[in-house]
Amino acid sequence: MSGECGATVVEFRNVSKRFGAVSAVRELSFAIERGALVTLLGPSGCGKTTTLRLIAGLEHADSGTIRIGGRDVTGLSATERDVSMVFQSYALFPHMTVGENVAYGLVVGGEPRERVRAKVGEVLAMVGLEGFEARLPSELSGGQQQRVAVARALVLEPQVLLFDEPLSNLDAKLRRRVRDEIRELQQRLGLTTVYVTHDQGEALAVSDRIIVMKNAAIAQEGTPRELYERPADLFVADFIGDANLVAAEIRRLEGEFAVVDVGGLELALPHRGFGAGPASVAIRPEALQLSTAAADGAHIRGSVSKAAYLGSHMEYSVESPLGSLFVVDRSVARPIRAGTAVSIRLAGHGVTLVRR
Amino acid sequence: MTRTAALWLAVGWVGYALLPWYAIDGGFWGFDWFSGYPAELASAPGLLAGLTQGRIWLLPIALPLLAPVLVLRAERSDPRLAAVLVAAGALGFGYTLLQGFAIGLNGWSWDSFEALFGPLADRQFGMGYGALLVLAAFLFLFSHGLAARGLVGGDAFVVGSIALIVTLVVLFIFWPISRVLVSAVQDNAGHFAPALFLAKLLHHSVWGLDCFAGSLTCGVAWNSLVLAVLTGLGTTILGLAFALVVTRTGFRAKRTLRILTVLPIITPPFVIGLAVILLFGRSGAITTFLDWAIGIPPSRWVYGLPGVWFAQMLAFTPIAFLVLIGVAEGVSPAMEEAAQTLRADRWRVFTTVSLPLMRPGLANAFLLGFIESLADFGNPMVLGGNFDVLATEIFFAIVGAQHDQGRAAVLSIVLLAFTLSAFYAQRRWLGRRTYVTLTGKGDSGVHARLPERLTWLAYGLAVPWAALTAVIYGMIMFGGFVELWGLKHTLTLRHYIEAFSVEFTQHGILWSGAAWNSFWITLWISAVSAPLTAAVGMLTAYVLVRQRFAGKGAFEFGTMLSFAIPGTVIGVSYILAFNVPPIEITGTGVILVICFIFRNMPVGLRAGIAAMSQLDRSLDEASLTLGAGTFTTVRRVVLPLLKPAMVAALVFSFVRAMTAISAVIFLVSANYDMATSYIIGRVENGDFGLAISYSSVLILVMVVAILLIQAFVGERRLGRRVVGEMSLGGSAA
Ligand SMILES: Nc1ncnc2c1ncn2[C@@H]1O[C@H](COP(=O)(O)OP(=O)(O)O)[C@@H](O)[C@H]1O
Ligand SMILES: [Mg+2]
């Protein structure tokens, strides 16, 4: 599972953490390479925050080892780890000014005052908040508070920067901008970053690599493209983008490929280690193509039961021998009305064999 | 080893090899020991006393102080370091305490040790600075060792705090109380005497029921119980009336009623009893008026159950009010509105929705009144007459002609059993429910008005009572200016001059008034104990709210326990536990300070817990991830944000130290007399004028102190919008 060594900054080996009867993290192993932004993605309660707090030293592992920068830090407290965190609530100290907040880590670390002032100015400029030193956090907008939190974490030049759902307190419009700012800053400074979110769109947009978690364990990890195009199982397929799960039959293997029968259509899909026999395929909603004209070539017959106009695309529910299918169609100009009989075709992409 | 651990080791060596081991005669702040230092035993360091004065049992202490030196250079993660620190700390601490307890003023303290080691000619006194530092060093080395093993996330500050608090609570609450239990089953010569214990426990004077048969009095246990139930009921009903008037009627003078809640906090409890005498006593104002107007002859009815009950109702109703107003406001208006939309009339809304929802609060108010009444010492002392209660009986068993420690201990156990049962019931049954906030964000409705009949009933109870309270306080302020109450009503400053006169001589100011001595001591002791109490309370609150560790429930229960222990019992237990070595502090100011810290800590603890629960945990965590240690985090982030709670804790502990009487009366001495015990003494001599003028000065001083504390601690700075709210909250404290 673990990535290539050499430039590994954070490494988990069989880390477990329980809270009473609840297993928050179970036998977790992964590695994060220098300069990468790695996202922990998963539904609420799957253990993302706990994993992040284990890296920060705010929780302590029951078993397993955690290494940061090659050093075993399993037993070290948060104070002793070279890691900074941007909290979901920002956790700006309300009784200190912006300048005092950003300077905090340097001051308690005993840096000389001149250097503190210079660095605070530098970092505030980096996040676009020069001149805000004397303000109190309560006098800033949500987006500005967020940038102060980032500046406060950056000023210590930590080996790893942690974000826990940093966009969740911002309104929808601001989210995309802040997200891009974080990504831009991370790439410019080459920061090793771990980013927690439950929003798959956010994860796909910012990540070099995504670790999908489910029930306190890793479901799959890989680049955004790998996860979208080759999900390991239905959970990942469904969590990252939408997917229709359909029963299928693998007829035979031909080299890299498996010849699969999906409701009478024959497809060649990468076999991914499956053998001949009953199987499941995940079909992306945009991989299903509908047409009302009498079709030639291989297709399945179905009928549209619901149609919804969403501005940039149409969403359909289609009843078919494969079951009820969810379909996304970009051609909004020629909508199909509910009740219409259609023929369904499969595109060459967006269909994968998955574990059930 | 970390720098802090090394520092504690150094502290241990300073305590062992440099500072006087035994307590110095001049008291904790005395510095006249330099003359004989270090050769004389009285001021010799432990090491020297062991080597040259025959105190050889002090020498083994060197071993656990030497062992950590060997691992001075060990890495923090080295398991040997943890093992050495834990072992040295535990053994050193245990041995140092053991030798202190085992060898007292007459050689061996325990017969079994004498049998084992043979008789011992030498003796030793109470522990002093040296022993104190050595014990502290062992305790913190021990906790550094535990932290190095990864306990509580490896945080030495938190482990050390827990260890310190546990040690203090055991030493100053559990150990003294256990001494009471032990001495209850001993005769006065110190031998085990279970039969005597049973005889005293079941004695007629405790449980007798003669008052039903004839004119004789009942046993003290029954007296206390009946009084407590009556007071609990009375204060709950009155408190509810006040709370309803404030929250559910259009009554105008709500702010005035709120001021009532502050008064009993700054009033020494027996002062109310005093005022009751001035009003209703044989020569009281109202008694005289009734005699003159309608010919009711003066009688001594206030001296006994009715008077004590009356005074306690006056003193404790505000507490019930305080509890019930929170509850009455907490009932979600949405529920009352829901009932109204379901066509319930006002009467039905009140009886089927509002009242049932307040039930936990009512029970809580009752239990608080019950506990306060049982623990009250001042009012029965002033007004009791022949009506004895446990709290006063315990006092007279110790200081009176009987001088029967065993009886005092037995009565203490009975009283303790009552209060602890009530405390336990309160926690088991209601403790958690009182914290549930019934209002959610969407509750913008208004409370239903009371039904007509009830409104008038509530007014009828609350308004006369408030008027009476006002008269009582007027009495307290005015009574000090009257020559001789009931007999000679000319105005005079005589009492104030007698108490607080100041002469300007050529040698400077001469504080010639009779009250100055106890006044300055009281101020000094209160000023020392208030910040310590607040500190211990806040630290405990931090540990309880922010840390997870095994045994936290027991830890919390232990720290809250002293709340339920009546002051009289604490007083007895401190006398029993601390007038012999190794902790020999009776008759000093230290024992008063310690007593106040542990009696008042639960108040600071409550304030701290409430405030800290509202403080987002991620603030601490942000500070930790930015490289600040736990101590720095507490100092720079947590405490500044807890200023309102700090003010509350400081004010409360200061004021309670100034007004306390029940424990204090056992612990004062010629050198350390406190204002309250001085006043009680004057009351017993019938010198009401001076007593009451002194009391009003105390009340004024406390008001000034509250304002000063608020100004000194200041307000927290959270931005423009919030400051307005804060100052409002501050002025309510
Ligand atoms: N301090 C805690 N005490 C008890 N249970 C906790 C605590 N923190 C997290 N958990 C539990 O651990 C699981 C994982 O939580 P978390 O890591 O916060 O999930 P996520 O961030 O993915 O939503 C959840 O079931 C949660 O209830
Ligand atoms: Mg989370």
Q: How far apart are the first and last CA of chain B?
A: 45
CB distance from B637 to chain A under 8 Å?
yes
Q: What does the alpha-carbon distance between residue B429 and residue B417 come to, in Å, rounded to a whole number?
A: 18
Judge if A191 and A303 occupy the same domain.
no
Contact B155 A89 (CB under 8 A): no
- Residue written as token pair 């108010």: B365
pLDDT number for residue B724: 28
Judge if B431 and B567 occupy the same domain.
no
Residues of chain B with Cβ-Cβ distance to A88 below 8 Å are: 618
- pLDDT greater than 50 at residue B730: no
Judge if A218 and A257 occupy the same domain.
no
Q: Which atom, in ligand 1's list, is nearest to the CA of A164?
A: 21
Domain-embedded: residue B495? no
User: Where residue B725 falls among pLDDT bands split at 50, 70, 90?
Assistant: very low
Contact B625 A78 (CB under 8 A): yes
Q: Which atom, in ligand 1's list, is nearest to the CA of A213?
A: 22
Whether ligand 1 lies within 6 angstroms of the CB of A212 is answered as no
pLDDT number for residue A2: 39
Residues 6+ apart with CB under 8 A from B109: B101, B102, B103
Domain-embedded: residue A186? yes
Residue A280's DSSP bridge partners are: A247, A354
Domain-embedded: residue A36? yes
Judge if B227 and B353 occupy the same domain.
yes
Lowest-confidence range among B53-67, B309-323, B480-494, B714-728? B714-728
CATH number at residue A207: 3.40.50.300
Judge if B362 and B445 occupy the same domain.
yes
Judge if B449 and B382 occupy the same domain.
yes
Q: Total structural domains in chain B?
A: 3
> How many Å lie between the centroid of ligand 1 and the Cα of residue B178?
42
Judge if B269 and B339 occupy the same domain.
yes
- pLDDT greater than 50 at residue B441: no
Judge if A184 and A250 occupy the same domain.
no
CATH number at residue B619: 1.10.3720.10
Residues 6+ apart with CB under 8 A from B85: B1, B5, B68, B71, B141, B142, B144, B145, B148
- pLDDT greater than 60 at residue B408: yes
Domain-embedded: residue A327? yes
Domain-embedded: residue B692? no
pLDDT number for residue B732: 27
pLDDT number for residue B716: 56
Mutate which of B548, B615, B617, B626 to disrupt the A interface (most A C-beta within 10 Å)?
B626
> How many Å lie between the centroid of ligand 1 and the Cα of residue A47?
6
Residues 641-660, chain B: which have Cβ within 8 Å of A?
641
CATH number at residue A335: 2.40.50.140
Judge if B223 and B326 occupy the same domain.
yes
Judge if A66 and A158 occupy the same domain.
yes
Nearest CA to ligand 1 atom 24: A45
Contact A94 B719 (CB under 8 A): yes
Q: What does the alpha-carbon distance between residue B138 and residue B154 come to, in Å, rounded to a whole number?
A: 18
Mutate which of B76, B152, B625, B641 to disrupt the A interface (most A C-beta within 10 Å)?
B625
Tell which one of A49, A50, A55, A168 to mutate to probe ligand 1, the residue whose CB is within 8 A of the most ligand atoms.
Answer: A50
Domain stop point among A209, A234, A259? A234
pLDDT number for residue B431: 52
Interface confidence, given as ipTM, is 0.81
Domain stop point among B479, B511, B543? B479
Q: Which residue of B has its CA nearest to A88?
A: B618
Nearest CA to ligand 1 atom 2: A19
Judge if B327 and B454 occupy the same domain.
yes
Contact A87 B641 (CB under 8 A): no
Contact B628 A89 (CB under 8 A): no
Judge if B473 and B612 occupy the same domain.
no
Q: Which long-range contacts (CB under 8 A, 24 or more apart) does B260-264 make?
A: B260/B318, B260/B321, B260/B466, B260/B469, B261/B318, B261/B321, B261/B322, B261/B325, B262/B318, B263/B318, B263/B469, B263/B473, B264/B315, B264/B316, B264/B318, B264/B319
Q: How many CB pairs below 8 Å do chains A and B form together? A: 95
pLDDT in tens, B655-684: 888 888 888 888 888 888 889 999 988 888
Judge if A140 and A187 occupy the same domain.
yes
Judge if A24 and A152 occupy the same domain.
yes
Judge if A109 and A209 occupy the same domain.
yes
Residues 6+ apart with CB under 8 A from B350: B448, B450, B451, B454
pLDDT in tens, B537-551: 889 988 888 888 888
Judge if A198 and A262 occupy the same domain.
no
CB distance from B160 to chain A under 8 Å?
no
The partner residue sitting opposite A91, judged by closest CB among B618, B627, B629, is B618
- pLDDT greater than 50 at residue B720: no
Q: Of the bound ligands, which one is closest to the alpha carbon of residue A46?
A: 1
Q: Which helix (H) or strand (E) holds B696?
A: helix B688-713
Mutate which of A60, A82, A108 to disrupt the B interface (most B C-beta within 10 Å)?
A108
Domain-embedded: residue B173? no
- pLDDT greater than 70 at residue B729: no
CB distance from B635 to chain A under 8 Å?
no
Domain stop point among B134, B149, B164? B149
pLDDT in tens, B34-93: 666 777 777 788 888 888 888 888 889 999 999 999 888 888 778 888 999 999 999 999
Domain-embedded: residue B513? no
Domain-embedded: residue A326? yes
Lowest-confidence range among B114-123, B297-306, B595-604, B620-629? B114-123
Mutate which of A71, A79, A90, A136 to disrupt the B interface (most B C-beta within 10 Å)?
A79
Judge if A153 and A56 occupy the same domain.
yes
CB distance from B717 to chain A under 8 Å?
yes
- For chain A, 356 residues long, give each residue's pLDDT as a single digit of tens: 334 444 899 999 999 999 988 999 999 999 999 999 999 999 999 999 999 999 999 898 999 999 999 999 988 888 888 999 999 888 899 888 999 999 999 999 889 999 999 999 999 998 999 889 999 888 888 889 999 999 999 999 999 999 999 888 888 888 888 899 999 999 999 999 999 999 998 999 999 999 999 999 999 999 999 998 888 888 898 888 888 989 899 999 888 889 998 888 888 888 888 888 888 899 999 999 898 877 677 788 899 999 999 888 999 999 998 889 999 998 888 889 999 999 998 887 889 888 77
Q: For residues B660 and B213, which has the higher predicted lDDT (pLDDT)?
A: B660
Q: Which range marks the domain in which residue A263 is found?
A: 243-354
Domain-embedded: residue A65? yes
Judge if B379 and B447 occupy the same domain.
yes
Domain-embedded: residue B423? yes
pLDDT number for residue B733: 25
Contact B154 A89 (CB under 8 A): no
- pLDDT greater than 70 at residue B26: no
pLDDT number for residue B443: 43
pLDDT number for residue B423: 79
CB distance from A78 to chain B under 8 Å?
yes
Domain-embedded: residue B729? no
Sign of the dihedral through C-alpha B144, B145, B150, B152 = negative
Judge if A182 and A329 occupy the same domain.
no
Q: Which range marks the domain in which residue B135 is found?
A: 3-149
Whether ligand 1 lies within 6 angstroms of the CB of A50 is answered as yes
Domain stop point among A200, A234, A268? A234
Judge if A131 and A186 occupy the same domain.
yes
Q: Which atom, in ligand 1's list, is nearest to the CA of A53?
A: 17
**Does the pTM exceed 0.90?**
no
Judge if B316 and B371 occupy the same domain.
yes
Domain-embedded: residue B355? yes
Judge if A94 and A122 occupy the same domain.
yes
Whether ligand 1 lies within 6 angstroms of the CB of A197 is answered as no
Q: Of the bound ligands, which one is closest to the alpha carbon of residue A214?
A: 1
Domain-embedded: residue B693? no
State the Rg of chain B over Cα: 28
Nearest CA to ligand 1 atom 27: A45
pLDDT number for residue B6: 92
Q: Which atom, in ligand 1's list, is nearest to the CA of A47?
A: 17
Judge if B467 and B562 occupy the same domain.
no
Domain stop point among A217, A234, A251? A234
Q: What does the alpha-carbon distance between residue B596 and residue B640 come to, in Å, rounded to a whole number?
A: 25
Q: Total structural domains in chain A?
A: 2
Q: For residues B298 and B10, which has the higher predicted lDDT (pLDDT)?
A: B10
